[in-house]
Amino acid sequence: MPDNQGPPSLRGMSYAQAKQATQIYNADRNYQGFIDSLSGFSLAMSIGGSVTQAIGNFYAVKQQQDQLKAQALSLDFAGQVAEFNSNMIQQQAARLGQSVRQQVGVSRMRYAEAQATARASAAARGVKVDSGSAAEYEAALNLMSQIDAMTIEASGDEQMASLEAGATDQRNRALLNRTSAANVRSTARSLSPVSAYVATEVGNAGRVSGMFYDRFGVEGRRR
């Protein structure tokens, strides 16, 4: 399609003037062509840069999402380990309680045997077991039996209290890790690589469309 504006009229000009006018006109056309080419290159670079930026944001959000998912899995595992530890400690406390009861039983049986032996010995010697030194010895055995039982139970209670505190701590850790994992997983679900891509493209659309209009709109007006 011919340009709307051609070279200036050469009538009335000398040969040198006409040649110079033609050279100026051709130089102007070549310069405008260079400007158009440069404008087209800038537009292509802008479009390419916009797409590259959008892809970069897509994978940046995708990487962040994957990292959060991995963190949630790690917290889930930590919660499972803490729950397992809590169960193990509770089992240990139950075994300790059973052991304490057995120790108390053995202690009382030992003192009961000592009392029976003392009664039999006193009876063999013709000593009354319900009075005098025999009765005092039996009372002393009863007191010692109670003291030993209380000592064993107190020691066991102290150990069981420590174990129960450890089990409670592990249960709290398990709950905290599960809650944190749920929160992290929720954050990961709220991220959208596609939305990041689209948002970047939409944000760059105005700038690129303006360059497109400047490139093809102005050229269209010249044609």
Query: Which pLDDT does position 45 carry in this prediction?
Result: 54
Angle at 82 between CA 77 and CA 83, to 5 degrees: 95
Report domain extents, the chain.
15-222
Whether residue 62 contacts residue 194, with contact meaning beta carbons closer than 8 Å, is answered with no
Share of the chain above pLDDT 90, in %: 35
pLDDT, tens digit, 9 for 90 and up, residues 125-168: 776 767 677 778 888 888 898 999 999 999 999 999 999 999 99
Mean pLDDT for 80-88 is 94
More confident residue, 43 or 97: 97
Whether residue 167 contacts residue 90, with contact meaning beta carbons closer than 8 Å, is answered with yes
Pairwise CA distance, residues 191 & 187, whole Å = 7
Mean pLDDT for 88-115 is 91
Pairwise CA distance, residues 171 & 168, whole Å = 5
pLDDT of residue 222 exceeding 50, the answer is no
Query: Which pLDDT does position 24 carry in this prediction?
Result: 53
pLDDT, tens digit, 9 for 90 and up, residues 44-70: 555 556 667 767 777 888 888 889 999
pLDDT tier for residue 197 given thresholds of 50, 70 and 90: low
More confident residue, 99 or 128: 99
Pairwise CA distance, residues 195 & 189, whole Å = 12
User: In Å, what is the CA distance from 27 to each residue of 30, 33, 39, 56, 63?
Assistant: 5, 10, 18, 43, 53
pLDDT of residue 99 exceeding 70, the answer is yes
Pairwise CA distance, residues 79 & 82, whole Å = 5
Share of the chain above pLDDT 70, in %: 61
Pairwise CA distance, residues 214 & 220, whole Å = 10
